[in-house]
Amino acid sequence: MVSHRRSTQSGFNRGVRITVISAAAATAAATLTGAPASADPKDTRESAKAAVDRLYGEAEQATERFNEAGEHVDRLRGEVGRSQDATARGQERVNRMRDALGAMAGAQYRTGSIDPALALLLSADPDTYLERAAALDRAGARQSMTLDKLRHAQRKLAQTRAETTRALTELERNRAAVTRHKRAVEGKLREARRLLDSLPPEERAGFDRASRSGREGLPDLSGVAPGSARAMSAVAAAHQALGRPYVWGANGPSGFDCSGLMQWAYAQAGVSLPRTSQAQRYAGRMVPLSQARPGDLVAYRADASHIGMYVGNGQVIHAPYPGAPVRYDPVGMMPVSSVTRI
């Protein structure tokens, strides 16, 4: 089965080495194109199928890294927008303070070079001296306070600009990561398709059944104990997606990758899940597989690179891999790494 995402930001920024074909896949391809007369055709077919399965798994891992990098890009884009807005507001505040100080300076200049306090003492109206002196002190204090506020605003503006620059730099790095992961996925899928095309038509037609569960139609889910209301709502939503295509990097409604289906199904139940399978496995409480209920998320392989939804009677619904639509499969189709109750 294909495998599908919990990574740190550093994990995002690590590039996925784009391997057009793994050593094992290369061996399988060589066997297909130039197998010796003594080679067992069955062994040749099985090695090709194993290579395709492995390539699909590697593509799914790269897909989850692509999804995660895309999630970071969306978050950083929001941060950049907020920082740019804060920078614009800070600049407006600084400009207003500068205008106010400029007005004060212009007023002082127009009074001439005589010290304002001396000019007050020489006033022709000594009875109002104390009142005017107090007003002058207040004016000086206001000017000093405005200067302090201006200095603080300028420091804040410089800090915001620096944060915006850092966010923009990080955004560009994550955009580059998205591109790397996209190329990795496409390279794996191209090679898997090449190997599949190397198989005889009858083998190619039977690959889906041989490499995966072999299930056709809907499983018997009668008598299944219900989960929580929101879990059953998510199960119902996932059921509506049966037959829709696997589309890597997609989260519905017309196509899905594995984690995209889980996110979409729970969104229909009013529950927000993270985008990646690795993050989804930690989105709730982990329970033993023996206690799984409908709506629980079942993560596969040690890296949780694939995920499905338990529906009861030992079945999951999931988006398997490119070329296979959303469907039911046995929960034990691959090694289970965790079961999470949302």
Question: What's the CA gap between 221 and 242, in Å, rounded?
Answer: 15
Given phi > 0 = left and psi -120 to 50 = alpha, else beta, which region is 301? left
Q: What angle do CA 271, 177, 71 make, to 5 degrees?
A: 15
Active site residues: 258, 306, 318
Q: What is the DSSP track for 128-139?
A: GHHHHHHHHHHH
Structure tokens at 61: 């891992």
E strand or H helix at 197: helix 129-198
Which position has the token pair 């990758």?
A: 257
Question: What's the CA gap between 206 and 209, in Å, rounded?
Answer: 6
108-140 per-residue burial string, b: 16 or more CB within 10 A, e: under 16 = eeeeeeeeeeeebeeeeeeeeeeebeeeeeeee
